[in-house]
Amino acid sequence: MLFRAIALAGGLAGAAGLSQFPEYAQQYTQRLAGAVHELDGVVARFDADAAGLGLDRAAALDDLRRGSRMGQARAQSMGEVLARHAALSADLAHLRGAGPAGLALNGWRFGDPAIAREAWAAFRPALPVSGAGVGFGAVGFMLGYGLSGGALAGLGALGRLASRRSRALPGA
């Protein structure tokens, strides 16, 4: 009876936690889209400045690197901005077109620390009334129940093994 109660509690905890994933994914994706939109403007201005000088993006970065210390520092920071823009744009393209299962399978695309922090700060748990929330809740229940039950079964097996070994020892 205790075993089932603990496994049920684990299942309910898993359901409550995982059912929140669709809402968190939506919060993260909104913030990701905002970050990409902001970087779009920075990259476009850089590309326009480069084009105004007859340079492409790579040539403009090389030109900055060969300049003053400020130019070198700006080339370094702009290179980081361009790399971040490319990475976030790729993540956004994958997440925007993904359904609930696709979001879960692309979970590693929720990895930008600054965006994750902002999404978590704005996230408020809610009753999962969407199909995705209910589905994730059901999967969370099964995972939580299975993990709790499996852990308890493993502990029980270890206890029985230890008991058998202590009875098998001479003088016990």
State residue 155's pLDDT score.
Answer: 81
State residue 48's pLDDT score.
Answer: 96
Tell me the pLDDT band of 152, cut-offs 50, 70 and 90: confident
pLDDT, tens digit, for every residue of 112-127?
999 999 998 888 877 6
> Is there a contact between 92 and 33 (Cβ–Cβ < 8 Å)?
yes
Q: Answer yes or no: is pLDDT of 167 > 90.
A: no
CA angle 154/159/164 to nearest 5° reads: 125
pLDDT, tens digit, for every residue of 55-109?
999 999 999 999 889 999 999 999 999 999 999 999 999 899 888 888 888 888 8
Minimal CA–CA distance to 136: which of 95, 96, 105, 112?
Answer: 105
State residue 40's pLDDT score.
Answer: 97
- Domain borders along the chain are 1-20+128-172, 21-124
Based on DSSP, count helices (H) and strands (E) in the chain, helices before strands. 7, 0
Look at residue 18 and give its three-state secondary structure: helix
Distance CA 94, CA 88 (A): 10
pTM summary value: 0.68
